[in-house]
Structure 1
Amino acid sequence: MKNSKNLRDLTCEELEALFKQRGLQTYRGRQVFKWLAQPGIYSFDQMTDLPKALRQELGEEFSIFLPEIVKEEVSSDGTRKLVLRLEDKELIESVIIPEADHFTLCVSSQVGCAMGCTFCLTARMGLRRNLKPHEITAQVLRAREVLIREGLSEEKKLRNIVFMGMGEPLANYDNVLTSLHILLDQRGFNFSRRRVTVSTVGLIPQMEKLGRDITVKLAISLHAADEEKRSQLMPINKRYPLKELIPACRRYLLPKGWRITFEYLMLKGVNDSPKDAHKLAKLLKGIPAKINLIPFNEHPALPFKCSSESAILRFQEILLSHGYVGTIRKSKGRDISAACGQLATRLAA
């Protein structure tokens, strides 16, 4: 039923409470929650362990709508980009990334983005709206359906979730937090906390709240080691500058042995000099950190070029000399505009 409450927006505890309010046993809520974490479930009629009368009642009052895949592109490297149409006809993109022994899914948290980062195509869309929890978890279900259809799920599992698609996750805090609780729940999706990463440009209040509210991996989109450069690249730095962001990272509640990942785009002649590398190492001193060096994905609409391979390797060597793990991220899906910073929905009529 259009505009009815979508039960996919609810955690297991919320579903249990809903059924209790209706005078039913709470285990019915757990049954529904388990069904909703399975790919290929589009109707209450498929929930065969529920009484037929209850299935009919739920179908009349509630929705379990899933956004549909309206376009799918496959890169030469095996990366798959999915374009999903939401109930209000807005479009979002998510990316299935093949790894050695598993798949990683890059999910979107907003339609567009309001952060205005100058190196990102999504920023050019502006912010259209926040995604609801069911629109976030639906990306996982649709990805699993694709892998099952292609016979790929038999070879390796969809194991990692990264909130690095369209939008700033922490600007949609409540809905993202709900989706995290749903994805991590052992009674449903059952993702490991070590396999779920939330990326942020550095919204400090929400970042600190995340550390208190739930345990997942944290990634910071850094991209520069001094205030002036970062403000030019990322307007958010004027609101939450490095002098406040870095101390917040030091305070962030991390389980023992975990590290914060710092994302660093390699932009030719902008932030890739040896001096920049030494600055970055000094900036992050004392923080349990992993640094991802990301070769920039060039696009005619963006005013930057990618650093040379030699510059990236030199940058990495300097970080290693300071004792940091500096990983050069291999760009995947570039030929289908599915790589870092390239997600900007467009669909031919």
Structure 2
Amino acid sequence: MEEKQNLFGLDVAALQERLVPLGVQKFRAKQVAQWMYEKGARSFGAMTNLSKALREELAASFEIATPAAQDVLVSKDGKTEKFLLAFADGTAVESVLMRQPYGNSICISTQAGCAMGCAFCASTLHGRARDLTAAEMLGEVFFIEERLRGEGQHVDTMVLMGSGEPLMNYENVVAFLHLVHDPAILGMSYRSITLSTSGIVPNIYRLADEGLPVSLSISLHAPEDALRSELMPINKKYPMADVIAAGKMYGDKTKRRVTYEYILIDGRNDSSRHADELAKLLRGQLASVNLIPINPVVERHLLRPPQERIDAFERRLAKRGIAVTVRREMGTDINAACGQLRNRHLETQA
């Protein structure tokens, strides 16, 4: 039997083209899109403004495939939900819903696993399984969007900060950004989206040229090359000076403030000297620093600094004119850091 083609993840123009062999009128493709994206239909039988004959014809050739939840964890305060979502081939990724004071924020994955090898991250422990398609990333978003619609709410902001390096899956990620922004699909403002990268320099320049005003977040985690290379092997390919130059260019070109993520690790990168060097590095940029006390990963033997050292690091940056925040912790009781839930499932299957 010939495998059915998945229509989920196609915009109206692509749907029209896909349905041409069936002789489907163009306005019908708009109706199919409306059922899939606005009304949450996952079968053609539900599309009651299409004729029964057309519904049967569509069902014979196509499907509407979205990820299914393998596991769901909810924090004790109910503000954070973590989902392990499985695609048709069994590949699973993590997505997170965070109910923030300013609205519902989601964190999605762009690859299954990660090949970056960062010393502090659980996502990279099993390496990269494969890239996600634009449709699969959209499926992550809609799984949570439909959950929220049931409560009369919706997704307000999104970060591409789950498992994987978005800029190593460049074409699929950019296609996904266009899909999620499409008014016929979700209509999310580009300005409500943040893309996080470990510093894939050539693709930061490419992204700046796309004309998509998404916010850029760069994982820095050290103020000098030797230490950053220990924590982030990608630094050996794209040294810190090149990463900072690309970040400055992105901010200048898009007029969007670049955020530099800095995970604070006890005894490794959390001293006053490190704070001074970081401030010197970023002075004069349209940039801010987001300090992230590490969510300990047992396998990595890296610990969170004491609170007084976190506070001192923040004060020292602020005193030197750097815009700085400390990430508000959410979901620590359900291991909301990316990669941990997926790893647990992989290990139970081994």
Common fold: TM-score over 0.5:
yes
Deviation at 1:69, TM superposition (A): 0.8
Q: Secondary structure at the match of 2:304?
A: coil
Whole-Å separation in 2 of the counterparts to 1:140 and 1:2: 29
User: Which residue matches 2:57?
Assistant: 57
User: Which residue matches 2:132?
Assistant: 131
Partners of 1:250 and 1:287 within 8 A in 2: yes
Amino acid at match of 1:57: E
Deviation at 1:254, TM superposition (A): 5.7
Amino acid at match of 2:12: C
Whole-Å separation in 2 of the counterparts to 1:17 and 1:206: 30
| CA separation of 1:254 and 1:62: change in aligned 2, threshold 3 A | farther
What is the TM-score normalised by the length of structure 2? 0.91
Whole-Å separation in 2 of the counterparts to 1:21 and 1:283: 58
Partners of 2:330 and 2:336 within 8 A in 1: yes
Structure 1 portions without partners, runs of 5+: none
Provide, for residues 63-115 of structure 1, a one-character-per-residue CA deviation record: whole Å limited to 9, x for no partner.
21111112111112321111112111122111111101411111111111101
Deviation at 1:148, TM superposition (A): 4.2
User: Which residue matches 1:301?
Assistant: 299
**Does residue 104 of structure 1 match 2:105?**
yes
Residue 247 of structure 1 is aligned with which of 235, 245, 253?
Answer: 245
RMSD between aligned residues:
2.2
Partners of 1:331 and 1:339 within 8 A in 2: no
| CA separation of 1:209 and 1:31: change in aligned 2, threshold 3 A | farther
Residue 317 of structure 1 is aligned with which of 315, 318, 322?
Answer: 315
Q: How does 1:173-322 map to 2 (within 5 A)?
A: 173-213=170-210, 214-252=212-250, 258-322=256-320
User: Which residue matches 1:13?
Assistant: 13
Amino acid at match of 2:319: S
Deviation at 1:257, TM superposition (A): 5.1
Partners of 1:267 and 1:305 within 8 A in 2: yes
| CA separation of 1:276 and 1:12: change in aligned 2, threshold 3 A | farther
Q: Secondary structure at the match of 1:199?
A: strand
Q: Secondary structure at the match of 1:92?
A: strand
| CA separation of 1:261 and 1:96: change in aligned 2, threshold 3 A | same
Partners of 1:331 and 1:340 within 8 A in 2: no
Whole-Å separation in 1 of the counterparts to 2:34 and 2:199: 34
Whole-Å separation in 2 of the counterparts to 1:307 and 1:257: 34
User: Which residue matches 2:147?
Assistant: 146
Whole-Å separation in 2 of the counterparts to 1:128 and 1:346: 15
Provide, for residues 238-268 of structure 1, a one-character-per-residue CA deviation record: whole Å limited to 9, x for no partner.
0111121111112226676520111110111
Partners of 1:110 and 1:127 within 8 A in 2: yes
Deviation at 1:51, TM superposition (A): 3.4
Deviation at 1:38, TM superposition (A): 3.3
User: Which residue matches 1:32?
Assistant: 32
Q: Secondary structure at the match of 1:346?
A: helix
User: Which residue matches 2:161?
Assistant: 164
Deviation at 1:342, TM superposition (A): 3.9
Deviation at 1:337, TM superposition (A): 1.2
Whole-Å separation in 1 of the counterparts to 2:241 and 2:185: 41
Q: Secondary structure at the match of 2:169?
A: helix
Amino acid at match of 2:62: F
Whole-Å separation in 2 of the counterparts to 1:310 and 1:239: 35
User: Which residue matches 1:81?
Assistant: 82
Q: Secondary structure at the match of 2:38?
A: coil
* Count of residue pairs the alignment pairs up: 345
Amino acid at match of 1:244: D
| Range that drifts further, 284-293 or 8-17 | 8-17
| CA separation of 1:23 and 1:40: change in aligned 2, threshold 3 A | closer
Deviation at 1:320, TM superposition (A): 1.1
Whole-Å separation in 2 of the counterparts to 1:340 and 1:306: 17
Provide, for residues 107-146 of structure 1, a one-character-per-residue CA deviation record: whole Å limited to 9, x for no partner.
1111111010010011101011111122111112211233
